[in-house]
Structure 1
Amino acid sequence: MTSTLNKEEYTKLLAETLPRIIDTEIEHKRLLNEVDKLMDLGENLTDEQAEVLQLLVTLIEQYENKRYPMKAATPLDILHELMLARGLKQKDIVEVFGSKGIASEVINGKRSISKNQAKALGEFFHVPHTLFL
């Protein structure tokens, strides 16, 4: 806590929001509602409110990371997501792979993406090629 905080105001906000380690979905929803109330203030947040907001967000992130862990995306997951986002079919990226057969094998997970293909995919999708390695 920084020394510029008004101790009485900060204590009052803590008493109102009652931040604590989240271990139930009910508590998660309650703290999300508290965050919404603070976010609605926008630029008008006091230093004390901003400090409580940061604390609540930290608690919520901790709970969500534990409760809903995300697995890292594989190069194939990224390729599928980029194709989906752009409405592309396999036939639309055959030129990147050089043949229908290789494109099919890569897209269906039967062949990994080579370094040259990763570079070509990076150029095609305008993203860093390292996403596909």
Structure 2
Amino acid sequence: MNLNDLKKAWENLSKTVNLSPIRTEKQYKKMVQLADMLSDVIASSKKHSLLDLFELVSELIRAYEHEHFPVKDAKPQDILAFLMQEHHLKQSDLPEVGNQSVISQILAGARQLNVRQINALAKRFKVSAGVFFERA
């Protein structure tokens, strides 16, 4: 690994995207916008070349939200259940996530959301994908 090459690549990337911990609401909004664009491009692909970048951006968003918008003990399935209730949706209303059986397993906590499902839910409910990642 050549550190000079790495430094140049990082400087070029930094000019386009500030891939660093989010410290301000303005940075947060830009990062959410980037995550939305990446989600649209990646769609349901499990091997897209930008998938790792999407996951890094989602983690930065998650860290900022955890610090600034703490949600005590909210699990992804609880958030999904809340959003479904707020939007008056049944399990069968989310075919982009899976069939009714899959949704039932997710809501019961017997199955975790995968990246494709997280992207679909974030897009549908217009929320950050980070809200659907399991918190430690």
Normalized against structure 2, the TM-score is what?
A: 0.42
Q: Which has the higher helix share?
A: 1
Higher relative contact order (CA 8 A, sep 6+): 2
Larger radius of gyration: 1
